[in-house]
């Protein structure tokens, strides 16, 4: 099949979260499986262009309403070709996402650029695979503005929702910038008369298929509690909503071959894990003490991730049980301050590294004993999957992809790979941390937990096949 991927992130060039990892790995899998795949992403000024050879391919003008842009395409890639859209006026902002008044135009430009690229290359996609609000207008664009272009005569569209809470909601005054002015009736009418347009909703309404990144999240987003206002629309399309867990690129994330950690190890020989723990603590200036467990956190620091439970629960647990906690992340100032205060209160036990640092993320996965993800909601979650692979026992709230991948530890049967708490409250987190500490005190139990996790396979070779199945099914709808 010919598959066009359009997205706002791509690891390692532009990443704020899991979306970037998926856009790097899923097209690579599809390419290996014999499909023709094109990937189109923005060339932000933050992209490190020394990471690859960027070959200029062609230039074009783009008009969005009254706004005129100059666009250059650069091609990279030895696997599936990746096309970067260079437009400093839009993508030169020092960061990936902004709250600037032209945020909608930045990603409209990306979507139009992807269509122009197909036209220039004579690439007729069987599937246009859009991701999140930044590319969610593509299904509608193909069905309206480009409906007469024979290149798209057979194209079917798939929208993957990586996080329903980011919707791209803008004032309806941006309408003319979509170049869809004459067909404004295509936008959701009630919302339009309330003065808004919502890009993700348009995708939900127009995409031929909808997937999200775990089976549990696929159900959750159809409920009022987790539907972020779109649950009714998703319920109306329930037969097209499919949950597919993200895979892991084990070429990047495996303790056997990870080039970013000082000591490699495997399930058969965990010696290197303990050495990584020492290296981790040393690099962060914390004392290493054998048999003292280290908990890790690597995360965007946003309310979704549930760290509001840390301040009321952790100080007492740290004081009583003496374990250590290493935290890597940045985000909301209130959460950054909370972790800074925790570090000041427990200087020998807690280290908070504020920032985004890929090699430290790998070292935490490798060196920590347990990994904390108390997310309020979690569409898929990648870090618990990485943790399982690295023998780092996940402690999570039972929600979304966490519920689908972490199985509760049962000491009597020796089954399970981690700890889940049911209700997102202080008692839940406290219970889960105490249960993990109790298991850690028994080396045989902990070994079994580690082995159970490391034996699991969430590779793209498995998950990618499910996407192929969805593409196939959409194709048959022609
Ligand atoms: P989300 O997409 O909601 O941020 P995921 O768990 O799906 O959450 O993916 C997070 C990805 O981003 C993982 O690859 C994780 O290692 C990475 N990540 C998050 N925060 C940081 C950070 N501060 N430094 C390095 N990597 C990070």
So what's the pLDDT on residue 185?
Answer: 77
Query: If you measure from the C-alpha of residue 24 to the centroid of ligand 1, how many angstroms do you get, rounded to a whole number?
Result: 14
Q: Is it true that 2-247+461-475 and 271-457 share their CATH fold?
A: yes
- How far apart CA 394 and CA 41 sit, in angstroms, is 32
The stretch 296-300 carries a mean pLDDT of 98
Closest Cα to atom 12, ligand 1: which residue? 17
Q: Lowest mean pLDDT of 66-70, 185-189, 297-301, 450-454, name the range.
A: 185-189
- How far apart CA 348 and CA 254 sit, in angstroms, is 29
So what's the pLDDT on residue 183?
Answer: 62
Superfamily for domain range 271-457: Glycogen Phosphorylase B; (3.40.50.2000)
Closest Cα to atom 9, ligand 1: which residue? 18
This prediction's pTM: 0.95
- Ligand 1 atom nearest to CA at 16: 12
- How far apart CA 198 and CA 163 sit, in angstroms, is 14
Q: Lowest mean pLDDT of 166-180, 222-236, 253-267, name the range.
A: 166-180
So what's the pLDDT on residue 478?
Answer: 58
Burial of 326 (0-12, 13-18, 19+ CB in 10 A): buried
Query: If you measure from the C-alpha of residue 196 to the centroid of ligand 1, how many angstroms do you get, rounded to a whole number?
Result: 31
Alpha-helix residue ranges (DSSP H) falling in 38-137: 88-91, 103-121
Half-sphere exposure of 51 (CA within 13 A, CB side): 13
C-beta of 20 in contact with ligand 1 (< 6 A): no
Query: If you measure from the C-alpha of residue 149 to the centroid of ligand 1, how many angstroms do you get, rounded to a whole number?
Result: 39
Q: Does domain 2-247+461-475 have CATH number 3.40.50.2000?
A: yes
- Residue labelled with tokens 């599809």: 30
Q: What is the pLDDT of residues 182-212, one digit of tens each?
A: 667 788 888 887 889 999 999 999 999 999 9
The C-alpha torsion from 169 through 171 and 173 to 177, rounded to 10°, is -20
C-beta of 328 in contact with ligand 1 (< 6 A): yes
Q: What is the pLDDT of residues 426-465, one digit of tens each?
A: 999 999 999 999 999 999 999 999 999 999 999 999 999 9
C-beta of 381 in contact with ligand 1 (< 6 A): yes
If one counts every other C-beta atom within 10 angstroms of the C-beta of residue 66, the result is: 7
What distance, in Å, lies between the first and last C-alpha atoms of the chain? 14
C-beta of 329 in contact with ligand 1 (< 6 A): yes
Burial 389-425 (b: 16+ CB within 10 A, else e): bbbbbbbbbbbbbbbbbbbebeeeeeebbbbbbeebe
CA 245 to centroid of chain Cα atoms: 11
DSSP-assigned letters across all residues of 244-303? ----B-TTTS-TTT-TTSSS--BTTB-HHHHHHHHHHHHHHT----TT--EEEEEEEESG
Asked whether the beta carbons of 205 and 198 are under 8 A apart, the reply is no
Pocket test for ligand 1, best of 21, 164, 352, 361 (most atoms within 8 A of CB): 361
Asked whether the beta carbons of 301 and 329 are under 8 A apart, the reply is yes
C-beta of 299 in contact with ligand 1 (< 6 A): yes
The stretch 362-371 carries a mean pLDDT of 98
To which H or E segment does residue 242 belong?
A: strand 241-243
Torsions phi, psi for 210 (to 5 deg): -130, 130
Q: What is the pLDDT of residues 142-173, one digit of tens each?
A: 999 999 999 999 999 999 999 999 999 999 99
Q: How many residues are present in the chain?
A: 478
CA distances for 75 relative to 14, 20, 54, angstroms: 15, 18, 6
- How far apart CA 397 and CA 364 sit, in angstroms, is 20
So what's the pLDDT on residue 295?
Answer: 98
C-beta of 222 in contact with ligand 1 (< 6 A): no
Query: If you measure from the C-alpha of residue 434 to the centroid of ligand 1, how many angstroms do you get, rounded to a whole number?
Result: 25
C-beta of 306 in contact with ligand 1 (< 6 A): no
The domain ranges of the chain are 2-247+461-475, 271-457
Query: If you measure from the C-alpha of residue 144 to the centroid of ligand 1, how many angstroms do you get, rounded to a whole number?
Result: 36
Please give the structure tokens belonging to residue 17. Answer: 């979260």
- How far apart CA 319 and CA 348 sit, in angstroms, is 11
Half-sphere exposure of 59 (CA within 13 A, CB side): 4
C-beta of 380 in contact with ligand 1 (< 6 A): yes
C-beta of 383 in contact with ligand 1 (< 6 A): yes
C-beta of 356 in contact with ligand 1 (< 6 A): yes
Vertex 239: Cα angle to 234 and 245 (nearest 5): 80
């Amino acid at each position: 099949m010919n598959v066009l991927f359009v997205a706002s992130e791509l690891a390692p060039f532009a990443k704020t979260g899991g979306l970037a990892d998926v856009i790097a790995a899923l097209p690579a899998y599809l390419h290996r499986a014999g499909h023709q795949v094109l990937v189109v992403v923005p060339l932000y000024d933050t992209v490190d262009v020394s990471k690859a050879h960027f070959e200029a391919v062609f230039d074009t003008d783009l008009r969005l309403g009254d706004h005129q842009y100059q666009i250059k395409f650069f091609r990279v890639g030895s696997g599936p070709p990746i096309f970067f859209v260079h437009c400093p006026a839009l993508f030169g902002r020092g960061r990936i996402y902004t709250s600037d008044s032209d945020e909608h135009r930045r990603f409209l430009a990306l979507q139009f650029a992807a269509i122009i690229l197909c036209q220039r290359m004579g690439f007729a996609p069987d599937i246009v695979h859009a991701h999140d609000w930044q590319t969610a207008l593509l299904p509608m664009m193909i069905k309206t503005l480009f409906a007469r272009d024979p290149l798209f005569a057979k194209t079917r569209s798939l929208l993957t929702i990586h996080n329903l809470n980011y919707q791209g909601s803008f004032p309806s005054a941006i309408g003319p910038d979509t170049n869809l002015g004459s067909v404004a009736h295509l936008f959701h009418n009630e919302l339009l008369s309330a003065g808004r347009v919502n890009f993700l909703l348009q995708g939900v309404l127009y995409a031929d298929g909808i997937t999200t990144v775990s089976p549990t999240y696929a159900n959750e987003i159809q409920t009022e509690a987790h539907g972020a206002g779109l649950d009714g629309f998703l319920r109306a399309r329930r037969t097209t909503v499919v949950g597919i867990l993200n895979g892991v690129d084990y070429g990047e994330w495996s303790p056997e071959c990870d080039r970013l950690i000082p000591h490699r190890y495997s399930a058969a020989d965990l010696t290197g894990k303990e050495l990584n723990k020492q290296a981790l603590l040393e690099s962060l200036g914390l004392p290493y003490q054998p048999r003292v467990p280290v908990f890790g956190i690597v995360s965007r620091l946003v309310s979704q991730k549930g760290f509001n439970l840390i301040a009321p629960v952790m100080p007492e647990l740290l004081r009583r049980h003496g374990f250590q906690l290493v935290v890597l992340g940045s985000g909301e100032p209130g959460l950054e301050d909370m972790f800074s205060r925790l570090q000041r209160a427990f200087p020998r036990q807690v280290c908070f590294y504020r920032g985004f640092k890929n090699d430290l993320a790998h070292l935490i996965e490798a060196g920590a004993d347990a990994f904390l993800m108390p997310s309020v909601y979690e569409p898929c979650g990648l870090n618990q999957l990485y943790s399982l692979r690295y023998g780092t026992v996940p402690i999570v709230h039972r929600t979304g992809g966490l519920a689908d991948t972490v199985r509760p530890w049962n000491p009597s049967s020796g089954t399970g790979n981690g700890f889940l708490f049911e209700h997102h409250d202080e008692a839940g987190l406290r219970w889960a941390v105490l249960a993990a500490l109790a298991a850690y005190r028994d080396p045989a139990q902990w070994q079994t937990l580690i082995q159970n996790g490391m034996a699991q396979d969430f590779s793209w070779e498995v998950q990618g096949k499910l996407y192929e199945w969805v593409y196939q099914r959409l194709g048959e709808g022609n």
